């Protein structure tokens, strides 16, 4: 089974989303394997423009199963907002899969990110202040909550 892998080797904005969109008609699955909702990708289909930050762009094609993989840090509010926006425009999200092992970005991650950036004053890192770094810190330290923690009925 052949596969195409699109990997960015710079600091973003290399056109990964456009390349994915270009190959979309030839694939059955699009997997977002890492990152968070800090980056955005814009897809234009005919007269429609879609701006996504978390959901893989494959969601716009009915034959594709879009997957948010275990290396992604997921902000539940962003995910719900994107789902709502897609549904309101008639896009079927029923094939979207989110790994149970994906870590969550919680409000304290965002607050910590903003506080750290603010404290750096003139030496700011330039973070998007969406909590991505702190969420990955928790992931590396095995402290963070994962999607599966939201699904556990206990």
Q: Measure the CA–CA gap between 132 and 75, rounded to whole angstroms.
A: 9
Q: For 89-140, how does the pLDDT look when each residue is reduced to its tens digit (9 = 90+)? A: 999 999 999 999 999 999 999 999 999 988 887 777 778 899 999 999 999 9
Annotation marks residue 41 as catalytic: yes
Q: How far apart are the C-alpha atoms of 35 and 69, rounded to whole Å? A: 10
What's the pLDDT tens digit per position in 26-59?
899 999 989 999 878 888 888 988 999 999 988 9
pTM of the full structure: 0.89
- Pure H helices in the chain: 16-23, 76-88, 107-119, 132-140, 147-151
- Selecting from 1.10.3720.10, 1.10.10.10, 1.10.300.10, 3.40.50.150, what CATH number does the domain 103-151 have? 1.10.300.10
Whether 63 sits among the annotated catalytic residues: the reply is: no
CATH topology of domain 16-98: Adenylosuccinate Synthetase; Chain A, domain 1 (3.40.440)
- Which of 21, 41, 109, 113 does the annotation list as catalytic? 41
Contact of 3 with 30, CB cutoff 8 Å: no
The 10s digit of each residue's pLDDT in 52-85 is 999 998 899 999 999 999 999 999 999 999 999 9
């Amino acid at each position: 089974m052949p596969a195409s892998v699109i990997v960015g080797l710079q600091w973003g904005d290399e056109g990964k989303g456009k390349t994915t969109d270009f190959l979309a008609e030839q694939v059955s699955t699009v997997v977002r394997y890492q990152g968070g909702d800090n980056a955005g990708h814009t897809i234009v289909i005919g007269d429609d423009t879609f701006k996504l930050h978390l959901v893989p762009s494959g969601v716009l094609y009915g034959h594709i199963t879009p997957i948010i993989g275990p290396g992604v840090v997921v902000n539940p509010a962003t995910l719900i907002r994107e789902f709502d926006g897609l549904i309101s425009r008639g896009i079927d999200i029923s094939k979207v899969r989110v790994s149970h092992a994906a870590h969550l970005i919680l409000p304290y991650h965002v607050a910590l990110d903003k506080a750290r950036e603010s404290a750096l004053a003139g030496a700011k890192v330039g973070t998007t202040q969406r909590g991505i770094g702190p969420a990955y810190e928790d992931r590396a330290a095995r402290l963070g909550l994962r999607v599966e923690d939201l699904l556990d009925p206990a």
